[in-house]
Structure 1
Amino acid sequence: MRSLVSQLSIHKLEVFCTVIELNSFSRAAQKLNITQPVVSAHIKGLTEKFEVPLLVRNGRRIVLTEDGERVHRWARELVSRTLEFEREMSDSQRGVMGRASVGASMTIGSYLLPRLVSEFRRSHPQGEISVQSYNPIAATDAIHSGTCDYSFTIMDPRHDVEDLDAEPIADDELILVTSERIPPLDGPLTPEVIAGLPFVSAQAGMPRREIEENLLERYGIRRRSIILEFGHAESLKQAVQAGAGYAFVFRSSLRDEFKTGALREVKTPGMVLKVPVYLVRRPNKRLSSFQQRLMDFLIDEITAQLEGRPVA
């Protein structure tokens, strides 16, 4: 096996992992900026080296064999560690005192982290911080691939957190909002009334939409009228501000709108839609002192903000 492994390149393993991640040869080729025949050749080469089938087709889906699962777990770890090592060596060559790459789901990356990482960097001016916002599934995939050191994200049941540490640190809350252009509702806001409201929501099939629908179903609510769909919370809020209707939005993203009166909260007595925020990381990932200090700072500040405590 030693001679076999010595003939494998990190690039081939990266191609293999990308095919599995995207479930597509063509999308893997596009992401890696190579041709599809090259992707196919790399996968064929890996299969020949291991002398066992790694992938099978199930309709339009690519499915790992049992041996393929083992190779994928090993390859993903090796590729992610290599990427991390390359970043660390590059930082040393450039004289950077510290560098961290933080992943986040959209709301956290758009509304919580910009202020917090800016504040942290004022006391660590020689460090470099990259914040990358993703949908929740991609935020955990970034940990598997080694693109990010850790991620702060919400989750849905489709998440692949195998071999990862996923620690809940606080709860965000989805609350019902609308514009001042929409007159107040008459009578009590029952589940039946909520189900019939005109809604603006995330796009169908997105993790954010799945989480919202699952929480509402606990209260027997299946919305009958979703009139607009958007891929980002900011677009969703803008549509509601323009008078399009109602939306469930994370409280953490509404500080400015509540200050200006652009949106108002519609109270939903007896209904609380809590969504856990997780810190996701690889259990064997060795953090630099800079990365550790940033992570500890962000955990404290995100928790404080979501729990309504004064933040630094």
Structure 2
Amino acid sequence: MERVLASQATLHKLEVFCLVCELQSVTRVAERMRVAQPVVTAHLRFLEEKLGVRLFERSGRRLVLTLAGERVHKWASDIITRTHELERELDLAIDGELGSAVVAASMTVASYVLPPLFTAFRRLNPNGGITVQVSNPQLVTAAVRDGTCDFGVCMLDPRHDVDGLNVERLWTERLVLVAARDDSSVGDGATPQEIEALPFVSSPRNQVRREAEEDGLHAHGIVNRRVLLEFGHPEAIKQAVRSGAGVAFVMETSVRDELARGLLRRVATPEIDLPVPVFLVHRRGKSFSGFQARLVDFVRTAAVDDHPPSILTPA
């Protein structure tokens, strides 16, 4: 076999191949890339000729990987990931930064936990920079896999595909029930039967936080809630509750300020506990710089007794 990388098997061809693996269709890849279908087909044919193996076979309208294709996909994904990591590290070296990290995080963690946590870290490590990408858990793990971030901090659905990733539990968030100060539909506490009758504001069903909420409530026999409004960001949920739209289960860390200022009130649910674990995710074999390793350790040690890190104030 000729040496593949010594010829025109560029990174672009490998990226096209991996995209076909993901979308299972030359047509969809061509539409995504805004190129003609023969261009995509030519890239695939080139790789097959150079490697001397078939990469795909048809299953109905889908393209599925052969056994050889699966091995090539694993190799190509690793090449692309390591290249993205190297490009970022070289860019940082050119810019003269002494340390830098890119972190992908799910919305609540990125909005309410990481800002004070990373501010405290920067006081201890002033010569470096941190970029936080706010996303949903699925895109967090995708960014970890393709090397566009160094590690992720997020909630994970138990059904989430974490193949090839190291997953480490950091702490446990808890969903707490909140209402507007003057909401007369609910008192200081609520039973499962009373909760089932309340009007709710929640996140959309396709979000991991909503699925965790539903699964937890179902385990307590609550299966017929009335969700009247859905918002994709915790700030919007809290504003809707403050406006009297209904009650909501929200992450305790996301509502600390409103509870302390009396803008919202917490409704006790002694019969219901809704834990949501938060995880550290990074690619297996990922080599952390000194700055990144210190940041990972700082995040690891920030939680005490499985509780989320407290809001930190300047020393």
Same fold flag (TM > 0.5): yes
Name the SS of the counterpart of 1:306 in structure 2.
coil
SS at match of 1:126: coil
Match of 1:35 in 2: 35
What is the aligned partner in structure 2 of residue 278 from structure 1? 279
Q: CA deviation at 1:309?
A: 6.2
**Structure-2 residue corresponding to 1:3:** 3
Query: SS state of the match for residue 288, structure 2?
Result: coil
- Structure 2 length-normalised TM: 0.87
2:172 is matched with which residue? Answer: 171
Match of 2:297 in 1: 296
The amino acid of 1:111's aligned partner reads Y
Q: Deviations over 1:42-71 (max 9, x none)?
A: 345434544314364555x66444433322
1:121 is aligned to 122
The Cα RMSD (Å) is: 2.7
Shift of 1:224: 3.1
State the percentage of identical aligned residues: 44
Given the two structures, how large is their TM-score scaled by the length of structure 1? Answer: 0.88
Query: What SS does the corresponding residue of 2:3 show, helix, strand or coil?
Result: helix
The answer to whether the 8 A contact 2:165-2:283 is kept is yes
Give the conservation status (yes or no) of the 8 Å contact 1:169–1:303: no
Please report how far the alpha carbon of residue 271 of structure 1 lies from its aligned counterpart in structure 2 after TM superposition: 1.3
Preserved CA contact (<8 Å) 1:56 1:62 = yes
Could you tell me whether the CA contact under 8 Å between 2:178 and 2:267 is conserved in 1? yes
5+ unaligned residues in a row in structure 1: which ranges?
Answer: none
Counterpart of 1:152, as a letter, is V
How many pairs were matched up? 310
How do residues 94-243 of structure 1 correspond to structure 2 at under 5 angstroms?
A: 94-183=95-184, 185=186, 189-243=190-244
Contact 1:178 1:266 in 2 (8 A): yes
Structure 2 distance, partners of 1:135, 1:229, is 16
Does structure 1 retain, via aligned residues, the 8 Å contact 2:188–2:268?
no
Q: 1: distance between equivalents of 2:87 and 2:211?
A: 37
Cα 1:187–1:162 change in 2 (3 A) is closer
Instruction: State the distance in 1 between where 2:260 and 2:306 align.
Output: 16
Change (3 A) 1:216 1:292: same
Match of 1:52 in 2: 54
Cα deviation for residue 299 of structure 1 reads 2.1
Paired letter, 2:173? D
Please say which structure displays the higher CA radius of gyration. 2
Kept after mapping to 2: 8 A contact 1:171/1:307: yes
**Alignment deviations for residues 10-31 of structure 1 (CA, whole Å, 9 cap, x no partner):** 1222233344446676776677
**Secondary structure, counterpart of 2:169 in structure 1:** strand
- Change over 3 Å in CA distance of 1:76–1:107 after alignment to 2: same
CA contact (8 A) 1:304 1:311 kept: no
Deviation at 1:262, TM superposition (A): 1.4
Task: Give the distance between the partners of 2:291 and 2:110, measured in 1 at CA.
Answer: 20
In the alignment, the residues of structure 1 paired with residue 24 and residue 234 of structure 2 have an alpha-carbon distance, to the nearest angstrom, of 27
Is the contact made by 1:301 and 1:311 (CA closer than 8 Å) also made in structure 2?
Answer: no
**Contact conserved, 2:188 with 2:267, CA < 8 A, in 1?**
no
Secondary structure of the 2:122 match is helix
Instruction: Report how far residue 304 of structure 1 moved.
Output: 7.2
For residues 273 and 35 of structure 2, the distance between their equivalents in structure 1, rounded to whole angstroms, comes to: 49
